[in-house]
Amino acid sequence: MYNTYDPYRLKKPLKRTNPKKGRDEDPRWVEMSWEEAFNEITIRLARIHADNPSKLVWQHGQGKYLIGEEFCAAFTKAFGTPNMVHRTTACESARHVADELTWANAGILPDLKYSKLLLNFGANYHEGEQASRWLDWQTAMGREQNAMKVVVVEPRLSGCAAKADEWVPVRPGKDIVMLLAMAKVLIDANTIDEAFLVEFTNAPQLVDAAGIIAKDKDGKTPLVWDTVTASAKPYAAGVKPALKGGYTVDGKPMRTAFQVLADSLKDVTPQYAEEVAGVPAATIVRLAQLFAKEARIGETIVIDGQTLRYRPAVLYTFRGITAKEYGVQGWRTGLILNMLVGSIDAVGGLMLGGAYSKPQYFDVSVCQFPPKRTDLAQSVFFPYSNHHIAQQTNITVQDPKAWGLEYTPEMQIFYGTNRPMSIPNSGQQFEGLAKTFNVVIDVLMTETAWYADIVLPDKTYLESWHYAPTRGTPDTGHNAIRQPMTNPYNLEHDAFTIMWELMKRLNLRDKFAEACNASWNLKQVKFKPGRDYTTREGVEVIWADRTKKDFSVAVEQGFVGSKKSVKSKYLGGAEDKFKGPGKAKIKFYADQLIDTYYKVEGIAKKNNLAKIDLPKYKIAYSPLPNKDLAFPTPHREAKDYPFYVITHKRMYRNQTGLTVDNAILNQALGADAATNYVQINVAAAAQLGIKSGDTVTIETRVGKINGTAQAVQGIRPDTIAVSYHYGQWSKGYDPEGRKGTAINQVLEHHPDLISGHNSFNDTKCKLYKA
């Protein structure tokens, strides 16, 4: 509410008159009319459209939760540019890509209604996780009604950890080794769901000495070792695959994929994990044994007349083990733990959203080169970056030829995102903004807007109509709208009407309407050519097609919901798509990564691509997680920097740009909400002579930044933590909002080479009194 009435709100279009762009440059803003703004933007867009539409880049962030990302996709599609870039690599894309490589779609939630144990590796649903309002409520209900135990594994005592039954402070970046050691404990004790691994996954498939899965004579169908005939065969009716062991096929030694993992874990003992991850070996053994016990391997449960697999133990994460240089492999390890006990799509386990809906993710990447997109998504540089790469465009534009781009981007439109402030090594991002003509659509004068050439004011979610992006749960789905409650500054446009007006002036309105229909997947009620739409009318179209209900229902009730049947929830996913002979299999062993690496290697060598470090790619593209993945670049190289740096969200500021000015947060809740702190363990602080309230310097290989120390018990002694929603410097903010430490300024930039996800939790630092 405060954001809507903020006196610092953008209320009229603004134009930059100082051509120089920089943090300390005065843009010398002048007001302009909407007609002048639309005219100037249209002239520039028309010139780009006639020359090469790819020279336009569209970027959005939290704006996707307002008008909907589908409209952004339609705008860029109608214009003809491939360059629509969203926010996911600043959030959870590595987790999505790990899911896609493993079960051919993305979207997971724990089945907490029936779970007995939740092993939470850094999903902070009390502060920032996207399914927060369901997860925190359902976790509380699970503990109260189902005696569910919650164990939180993360370096900092977060809100989730504080409310859990147990907090396990793991060393940053070393989660993979802890998880692999837990896997070893399960495998050595044979407390695994062999039936699930054989029937649902590719764990029984035979792997040769080079790591390639053996194929039948057709060159496509994987082979397993049939225990009935003692021979290698495709998994068909009558074949009983061996899960373990080594075999000779056509004179060549082979092992099952499961055996490859088991053999690779020979030295990854709980004692080794204690040394690397900083978690006692006894704790690792105990948690693994607890996970197996609560998974109740082999048990079934009857719900609504359906007999179902019952595995009420689940391992879950959000950004905890994914916002890292090896983020995809981090969550791949977590998925393998869930597979070992058979909790995938079982009652009380890990529920998949749309299993095997996108089988193309099991294929070798296209490894596009030269890249078509400025963010290099799905190019040879980031082969499986299926969710765009938020940080890359502002790096690419600084030297397009170095990345193989065959054009030079000229213009960027930013909608609802303060992108550079949200990205590690943010100074590098601002350098990119100085290279393009920028239009910013936002509510406040963010730092991104400070680098704009034209700024257009947007409406908040209380001032306009939106088809609301409600999140489903394992049991329910929703269709919802938002409707305006107020418009205190009589704002004329929101992002939807801005798009529509620009498309009309470019003579692309009908193409935009057609693209909207495709983007929203409208079947019966569609946007029609030859006419304009108000924001409400646009919402009415989507509502009518999605719900088949009159819009009066939307206005009166706000949403309609549906409950999933037991059959669709538990039997429509993995059971239907993967179980048994002749079906696709969950990728326990991600063999597509091997073939993709060799493709990358060939392209890199052929084109002398200096930007590709092949040894690093070979580590990243392992078909099975391994202990090398616990040593990201800063951990290997920054040896003189003793502290690990982690970042986190705070309830007060989940979006950098929109909560900065909020006086309720900055003042009414107290000084603690108005700024962030450099949290350090009390023992480490004492050794350095640091006390709470001291000004300290964080020094990394990127640079230095000051902050206010807060000595606490709830963090590892080798770790410091800083939330990343503070340290704004734009003069367009209320002075009360310009407080705290912008930690992203000094974080090293080592994106995950599979997904492009930002590495927020890999940097190391020195810490001392300022």
Q: Concatenate the DSSP letters of all residues of 78-143 into one string.
A: HHT-S-EE-SGGGTTHHHHHHHHHHHSS--EEE-TTT-SEEEESS--TTTT-TTHHHHHHHHHHHH
Give the residue from 457, 338, 535 showing the smallest Cα distance to 6.
457
Mean pLDDT of 327-356: 97
Angle in degrees, CA 600, 58, 481, rounded to 5: 115
How does residue 612 score in pLDDT terms, banded at 50, 70 and 90? very high
Under the banding of pLDDT at 50, 70 and 90, the label for residue 137 is confident
**Could you tell me which residues come within 8 angstroms of residue 386 by beta carbon, excluding any fewer than 6 positions away?**
93, 96, 97, 100, 361, 377, 378, 755
pLDDT tens digits, one per residue of 73-110: 999 999 999 999 998 998 899 999 999 999 999 999 99
Q: Which residue has the tokens 């004329």?
A: 492
Please report, rounded to a whole number, the percentage of residues in the chain having pLDDT higher than 70. Answer: 99
Check if the beta carbon of residue 98 is closer than 8 Å to that of residue 332. yes
Q: How many CB atoms lie within 10 A of CB 601?
A: 17
363-388 burial code (b ≥16 CB/10 A, e <16): eebebbbebbbbbbbbbbbbbbbbbb
What is the average per-residue pLDDT within 446-472? 93
Residue type, 762: D
Taking only the tens place, the pLDDT of each residue in 660-702 is 777 777 777 777 788 899 999 999 999 999 999 999 999 999 9
Residue 529: both structure tokens together = 């050519």
The average confidence (pLDDT) of the chain is: 95
Cα angle value 117/119/125 (rounded, 5°): 105
- So what's the pLDDT on residue 127? 79
How confident is the model over 245-274, as pLDDT tens digits? 999 999 999 999 999 999 999 999 999 999
- Taking only the tens place, the pLDDT of each residue in 266-282 is 999 999 999 999 999 99
What stretches of 296-346 show up as alpha helix (H) in DSSP?
A: 327-341
Q: Which residues of 649-687 are buried (b: 16+ CB within 10 A; e: fewer)?
A: bbebbebbbbbbbbbebbeeeeeebbbbbbbbbbebbee
Residue 667 DSSP label: I
Q: Using an 8 Å Cβ cutoff, are 438 and 420 in contact?
A: no
The three state secondary structure string of 6-75 is CCCCCCCCEECCCCCCCCCCCCCCEECCHHHHHHHHHHHHHHHHHHCHHHEEEEECHHHHCCCHHHHHHH
Please report which confidence band the pLDDT of residue 489 belongs to, taking 50, 70 and 90 as the band edges. Answer: very high
pLDDT confidence of residue 129: 66
Q: What is the pLDDT of residues 360-409, one digit of tens each?
A: 999 999 999 999 999 999 999 999 999 999 999 999 999 999 999 999 99
Amino acid at 509: R
CB atoms within 10 A of CB 722: 26
Angle between helices 175-188 and 327-341 (to 10 degrees): 20
Report DSSP letters for 413-424, one per residue. EEES--GGGGSS
Per-residue pLDDT at 655 exceeds 60: no
| DSSP code of residue 665 | I
Cβ neighbours of residue 489 under 8 Å, at least 6 residues apart?
Answer: 9, 11
Residue 362 in tokens: 């099991």
Q: Tell me the residue length of the chain.
A: 770
Each residue's pLDDT tens digit, 518-555: 999 999 999 999 999 999 999 999 999 999 999 999 99
Q: Report in angstroms the alpha-carbon separations of 439 from 16, 41, 52, 219, 429.
A: 10, 8, 18, 51, 16
Alpha helices in 525-572 (DSSP H): 535-547, 551-557, 566-571
pLDDT at position 428 over 70 = yes
**Model confidence pLDDT, tens digit, residues 567-598:** 999 999 999 999 999 999 999 999 999 999 99
Residue type (1 letter), 270: P
Average of pLDDT values for 319-333?
Answer: 96
The two structure tokens encoding residue 687: 């050794």
For residue 614, the tally of other CB atoms under 10 A from its CB is 13
Q: Shortest CA distance to 170 belongs to which of 620, 627, 644? A: 644
CA distance 456 to 463: 16
Q: What sign does the CA torsion over 369, 371, 372, 376 have?
A: positive
Question: Scanning the structure block, which residue is given the tokens 């257009």?
Answer: 456
Per-residue confidence (pLDDT) for residue 736, from 0 to 100? 82
User: What is the pLDDT, as a whole number, of residue 63?
Assistant: 81
User: Can you give the pLDDT at residue 654?
Assistant: 61
Instruction: Look up the pTM and report it.
Output: 0.97
- Give the DSSP H/E element, type plus range, for residue 432: helix 426-433
pLDDT in tens, 38-69: 999 999 999 999 999 999 999 999 888 889 99
Indicate the SS3 state at residue 158.
Answer: coil
Helices (H) and strands (E) in the chain, counts: 27, 29
Q: How far apart (Å, rounded) are the C-alpha atoms in residues 560 and 552?
A: 12
Query: Which residue did the predictor score with more confidence, 631 or 738?
Result: 631
pLDDT for residue 136: 87
- The C-alpha atoms of residue 54 and residue 410 are separated, in whole angstroms, by 9
Closest CA to 649 of 345, 320, 388: 320
Which of 547, 536, 524, 533 is CA-nearest to residue 484? 536
Measured CA to CA, the distance from residue 659 to residue 2 in angstroms comes to 9
pLDDT of residue 48: 98
Is 656's pLDDT higher than 70?
no
| Amino acid (one-letter) located at 63 | G
The band of 213, judged by pLDDT with boundaries at 50, 70 and 90, is: very high
The pLDDT value given to residue 665: 76
